[in-house]
Amino acid sequence: MHELGYRFFDSDNHYYEPRDCFSRYIDPKHRDAAIHVTREADQRDRVWIGEKPFTFLNQDFDRAVRPGALREMLRGMGRPGFSESEVVESLRPEYVNREARLELMDRQGIESAFLFPTLGVCVEHFMKDDVEQMYANLHAFNLWLDETWGFDYQDRIYAPPLLSLLDCERAVLELDFVLARGARIVSLRPGPAFGRSPADPHFDPFWARLDEASVPVAFHIAESGYNEMMSVHFGEESNPPSHRQSAFQWSCFYGDRPIMDTLAALAFHNLFGRFERLNVVSVENGSLFVPYLMRVMDKMGGMGRNGPWIGGRIREKPSAILRRHLFVSPYHEEDIVALVGEMGASQVVFGSDFPHAEGLAEPGEFADALEGLPADQIRKVMRENALGLVGRA
């Protein structure tokens, strides 16, 4: 099935960052607040957010779990005598080098890809109390990112710069900077915007620039801070490492919950009524939540008709709004044919999560999950929809 006769557009690819991806270009006056790495006595790397330890990922900058090996790793972690060497390998050149990655993409049949960070999407939560630290680090990272991978490199690699809505004025300044450098998609963390809805009119100067430039926003799964914000009230740990979250935390405070809250806020708070050309992409949040979200929004939109409307009252069903402005990149193991039926073939995009352990070792195998769909719909999912997001349809 995955030999379709055309090249793909992978909407969820990743790179592995070097130790100095934040610190290399940090403004010297913010050097003490930089995200940086130290080597501990046990010869393991430790990531620091300024003076605070980063707890979400146990980052190894020289090795990674093999692509597609997550299940093998999780089974092994509970087995006596398990050694991480069974699933871990040294970083391959194509994970850290742009030209090597292009060569690999050619072999994989990938024409273009959105390339997301591994570490970078997980750090914002740990800088939420310091505006200067936040934007100094994001700007430094974006400088490194454009130099190393490219916001738009040869119409093949689109590496979304990292942005934050912690401060609207600073967010606009960074957005202007990355747009001037040719960014065709940008990245925001799912979840509330530090005491506001991300669709609050307070942020309209930010959204207006994206609307005018026809640049979409990717909401990639991230450390959205829900464990610290809510799971502690159920007796759970506030900031556990990613793969040491409890089953309850995985179910209720990571993944589905932040993206559902975000998408509902964008629809109910009328972001797309104010900015009709704006599109958003849900990346690596899966799709199990989609049918439920569509139905509960439509029901509760009626229940709340006499309540406040932060961005102005919406004039149609919220599900209809999202079916025009939302693109979903599902997990490869989910019922993607059903998702196409729910959202329409025009709103689903292929994402392999390569080279991460939870993704596909061979990205093109994603197409196997589309068996039974008409050829034109498969082509939309595997290629055309993402091309449209970057203005190449």
* Whether 327 contacts 279, CB under 8 Å: yes
For residue 21, give both structure tokens: 């991806």
Nearest in space to 95 (alpha carbons), one of 155, 172, 160, 14: 14
Digitized pLDDT (tens) for each residue of the chain, 393 residues in all: 457 899 999 999 999 999 999 999 999 999 999 999 999 888 889 999 999 999 999 889 999 999 998 877 777 777 787 777 788 999 999 999 999 999 999 999 999 999 999 999 999 999 999 999 999 999 999 999 999 999 999 999 999 999 999 999 999 999 999 999 999 999 999 999 999 999 999 999 999 999 999 999 999 999 999 999 999 999 999 999 998 999 999 999 999 999 999 999 999 999 999 999 999 999 999 999 999 999 999 999 999 999 999 999 999 999 999 999 999 999 999 999 999 999 999 999 999 999 999 999 999 999 999 999 999 999 999 999 999 999 998
The residue assigned the tokens 């003076």 is 51
User: 289-303 and 318-325 are packed helices; what angle lies between their axes, rounded to 10 degrees?
Assistant: 140
- Percent of the chain as helix, strand, coil, to the nearest 5: 45, 15, 40
The residue assigned the tokens 């592995």 is 16
pTM for this predicted structure: 0.96
Q: Tell me the CA distances in angstroms from 201 to 131, 260, 261, 310, one per residue in order.
A: 20, 20, 17, 8
* Whether 289 contacts 322, CB under 8 Å: no
Contacts of 319 (CB under 8 A, 6+ apart): 294, 295, 297, 298
Q: What per-residue confidence (pLDDT) applies to 73?
A: 75
Q: Indicate if the alpha-carbon torsion angle 381, 387, 388, 392 is positive or negative.
A: negative
Cross-strand bridge partners of residue 14: 116
Instruction: List helix spans (H) across 149-287.
Output: 168-180, 204-213, 226-229, 247-252, 256-268, 271-274
Q: What is the DSSP letter of 125?
A: G
Upper half-sphere CA count for residue 271 (Cβ side, 13 Å): 27
Instruction: Tell me how far apart the alpha carbons of residues 292 and 269 are, in angstroms, rounded to a whole number.
Output: 19
Phi/psi region, residue 140 (left: phi>0; alpha: psi -120 to 50; beta: rest), is alpha
Nearest in space to 14 (alpha carbons), one of 159, 219, 151, 136: 159
Q: Report which secondary-structure segment, H or E, holds 265.
A: helix 256-268
Q: Report which secondary-structure segment, H or E, holds 145.
A: helix 131-148
For residue 308, give both structure tokens: 């406040």
Cross-strand bridge partners of residue 35: 49
